[in-house]
């Protein structure tokens, strides 16, 4: 039972309007309260309700479902991603099969262009990038590999986000493509961040200009929000939006809790705040058909205050006379979008994790609750695995 319709995103040119409706006829005690209607919470709610027949109350403090993957039609009728570009890609057939119950797909292979010293070149760095930046005519993988090898630095250990790039392509490409972008994005020097951050972006010797190489790359045909609506449209699920966990906790008795918000918030920051990086999104609609040549253009230079510009029509395939774009400005304060991967933060997280493990009937799932820089498919995989674990523990209890 979808107590509250997920606002007016289905139709173009309708404004989002939050209307928190408290369930009129609610069970005396829910089997499970799920906090957060992003991927982690929605998958858990759907599985517990449809897979195990549990009565679930799903809440979110935001006025919409979908978490950071939420998309909506703007005033010009263009489907935009409210929290920046979300591109679905995975190598897991299980995750594709699961989501395909709730959506059709539009094939889409994401391409990113970097604006470097006045040139627009493919990112990740590939052979085309090298030829354009250095005015070369490298014509084979071997030639490109030799170019990288001649510049790569041998380091005693590869620990940081800077080490990972410098040891692969050398300092000049690092400075042109990674140093400024990373300093802006994270408010830290790449030498202070874990190598996993820049290892997300490969370096190529061929001319493949796709951002991802996963076997499955596609966008939900009617958008993420429509897919979430279908996932949550189940008689065992009640949904409340614009509601804080601290307000719902006592008002809605529940036997179990799934928490997908920030883990440090759950424990009232008892060990201090876990650092998160935030972003400000500036959405614009332009009275022209196209703005740029790809879905995303990155601006690594520190003289430009934003990191990237997204133009949604490339990603969604929508045809419209106008176009909508989003500028991303990294911020220290605001919504917690990115856990910051470095040793010190991981140590602090481990202290919170020890508290989570000591709790009975409370499960922590998702990017914020497990403090992991996860993509959507990884969060879905984590939630499906968590559900399987819960179900087999419950069937073990029944048999015993
Ligand atoms: P969230 O989506 O953050 O959901 C958590 C929800 O919990 C939120 O809606 C929040 O309001 C709610 N909540 C928290 N605390 C409380 C509380 N106390 N009470 C009530 N509600 C609460 N992944 C990809 O695979 N591809 C991409 O291209 C991609 N691009 C991204 C771009 C950006 C700018 C960002 C920030 C992330 C991107 N991601 C991408 C990652 C993706 O957004 C996440 O992996 C995924 O959305 C995380 O889902 P989640 O449910 O764990 O968290
Ligand atoms: N990065 C960079 N330059 C780029 C793209 C990425 O330096 O043009 C670095 C940066 O530190 C970024 C990280 O690589 O945070 C991961 O990039 P990704 O595109 O995966 O970031 P996300 O989409 O998760 O924000």
Pick from 7-11, 24-28, 82-86, 291-295: least confident: 7-11
Closest CA to 175 of 156, 157, 162: 162
Per residue in 315-339, pLDDT tens? 999 999 999 999 999 999 999 999 9
16 contacts 74 by C-beta, under 8 angstroms: no
pLDDT greater than 60 at residue 48 = yes
Residues 12-31 have a mean pLDDT of 55
pLDDT for 12 beyond 60: no
**Is the distance from CB of 78 to CB of 313 less than 8 angstroms?**
yes
So what's the pLDDT on residue 23? 59
User: Within 13 A of 284's CA, how many CA atoms are on the CB side?
Assistant: 13
Cβ-based neighbours of 260, under 8 Å, separated by 6 or more: 34, 35, 36, 38, 40, 41, 44, 67, 364, 365, 366, 368, 369
Cα separations in angstroms, 102 against 6, 95, 229: 15, 12, 9
For residue 377, pLDDT over 50 is answered with yes
Per-residue pLDDT band at 22 (split at 50, 70, 90): low
Question: What would the pLDDT profile of 186-201 be if each residue is shown by its tens digit?
Answer: 999 999 999 999 999 9
Average pLDDT over all residues of the chain: 93
- Contact (CB, 8 A) for 23 and 57: yes
At 181, list the tokens: 């972008």
CA of 201 to the centre of ligand 2 (A): 7
Give the whole-angstrom CA distance, residue 43 versus residue 260.
11
Can you list the positions of beta strands (E) in the chain? 30-35, 56-60, 71-73, 79-81, 89-90, 105-107, 112-116, 119-123, 216-220, 237-241, 254-259, 276-286, 296-298, 308-311, 323-331, 338-339, 362-364
Q: Which residues contact 48 (CB under 8 A, 6 or more apart)?
A: 31, 32, 34, 54, 56, 236, 258, 387, 390
Residue 21 has pLDDT above 60, yes or no: no
CA–CA gap between residue 27 and residue 367 (Å, rounded): 30
Residue whose Cα lies nearest atom 31 of ligand 1: it is 86
Place of tokens 């874990």: 194
What average pLDDT does the segment 271-281 reach?
Answer: 98
% of the chain at pLDDT higher than 90 = 91
Domains of the chain: 30-108+217-274+340-399 (3.40.50.720), 126-200 (no CATH)
Buried b (16+ CB within 10 A) or exposed e, 118-154: eeebbbbbbbbbbbebeeeebeeeeebeebbeeebee
**pLDDT above 60: residue 4:** no
Determine which of 8-12, 146-150, 250-254, 343-347 has the lowest per-residue pLDDT on average: 8-12
Q: If you measure from the C-alpha of residue 182 to the centroid of ligand 2, how many angstroms do you get, rounded to a whole number?
A: 7
- Tell me what the mean pLDDT of segment 124-141 comes to: 98
Our answer on whether the CB atom of 375 is closer than 6 Å to any ligand 2 atom is no
The finding on whether 374 has its CB within 6 A of some atom of ligand 2 is: no
Instruction: List pLDDT tens digits, range 83-127.
Output: 999 999 999 999 999 999 999 999 999 999 999 999 999 999 999
Confidence of residue 399 (pLDDT cuts 50, 70, 90): confident
Strand 105-107 with 216-220, pairing: antiparallel
ipTM of the assembly? 0.99
Which atom of ligand 2 sits closest to the CA of residue 161?
A: 11
> Residue 275 has what DSSP assignment?
P
pLDDT at 291 (0 to 100): 98
Q: Where are the alpha helices (DSSP H) in 297-342?
A: 312-316
Task: Find all residues with CB under 8 Å of 79, minimum gap 6, and list them.
Answer: 71, 72, 73, 223, 312, 316, 318
What order of strands is seen across the sheet that includes strand 237-241? Answer: 237-241, 56-60, 30-35, 254-259, 362-364
**Which residue out of 163, 174, 181 has the highest number of ligand 2 atoms within 8 Å of its CB and is therefore the one to mutate?**
181
Q: Ligand 1: list residues with CB < 6 Å.
A: 35-41, 59-62, 67-69, 83-87, 244-245, 260-261, 265, 279, 337, 366-368, 374-377, 379
Q: How confident is the model at residue 150 (pLDDT cuts 50, 70, 90)?
A: very high
pTM across the whole model: 0.94
Residue 258's Cβ-count burial label (10 Å; 0-12, 13-18, 19+) is buried
Burial label for 371, CB within 10 Å (0-12, 13-18, 19+), is: buried
Helix axes of 161-169 and 141-151: crossing angle, nearest 10 degrees:
120
**Mean pLDDT on 276-302:** 98
- For 223-236, the pLDDT digits (tens) are 999 999 999 999 99
């Amino acid at each position: 039972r979808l107590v509250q319709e997920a606002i007016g995103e289905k139709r173009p040119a309708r404004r989002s309007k939050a209307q928190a409706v408290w369930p009129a006829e609610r069970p005396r005690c829910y089997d499970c309260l799920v906090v957060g209607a992003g991927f982690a919470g929605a998958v858990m709610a759907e599985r517990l309700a449809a897979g195990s027949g549990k009565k679930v109350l799903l809440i979110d403090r935001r006025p919409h479902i979908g978490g950071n993957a939420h998309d909506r039609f703007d005033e010009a009728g263009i489907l935009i991603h409210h929290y920046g570009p979300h591109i679905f890609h995975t190598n897991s057939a299980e995750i594709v099969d699961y989501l395909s119950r709730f959506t059709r797909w539009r094939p889409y292979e994401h391409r990113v262009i970097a604006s470097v010293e006045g040139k627009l070149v493919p990112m990740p760095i590939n052979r085309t990038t090298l030829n354009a930046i250095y005015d070369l005519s490298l014509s084979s993988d071997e030639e490109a590999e030799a170019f990288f090898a001649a510049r790569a630095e041998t380091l005693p250990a590869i620990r940081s986000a800077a080490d990972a790039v410098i040891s692969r392509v050398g300092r000049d490409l690092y400075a042109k493509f990674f140093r400024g972008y990373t300093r802006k994005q994270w408010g830290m020097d790449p030498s202070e961040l874990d190598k996993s951050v820049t290892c997300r972006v490969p370096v190529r010797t061929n001319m493949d200009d796709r951002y991802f190489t996963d076997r499955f790359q596609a966008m939900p045909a009617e958008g993420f929000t429509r897919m979430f609506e279908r996932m949550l449209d189940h008689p065992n699920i009640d949904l409340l939006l614009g509601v804080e966990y601290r307000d719902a906790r006592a008002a809605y008795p529940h036997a179990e809790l799934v928490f997908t918000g920030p883990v440090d918030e759950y424990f009232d920051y008892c060990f201090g705040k876990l650092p998160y990086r935030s972003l400000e999104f500036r959405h614009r609609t332009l009275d022209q058909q196209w703005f740029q040549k790809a879905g995303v253009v990155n601006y690594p230079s520190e003289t430009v205050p934003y990191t990237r510009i997204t133009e949604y029509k490339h990603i969604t395939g929508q045809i419209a006379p106008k176009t909508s774009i989003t500028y991303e400005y990294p911020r220290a304060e605001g919504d917690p979008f990115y856990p910051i991967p470095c040793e010190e933060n991981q140590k602090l997280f481990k202290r919170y994790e020890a508290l989570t493990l000591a709790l009975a009937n409370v499960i922590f799932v998702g990017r914020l609750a497990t403090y992991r820089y996860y993509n959507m498919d990884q969060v879905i995989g984590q939630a499906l695995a968590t559900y399987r674990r819960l179900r087999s523990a419950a069937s073990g209890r029944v048999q015993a």
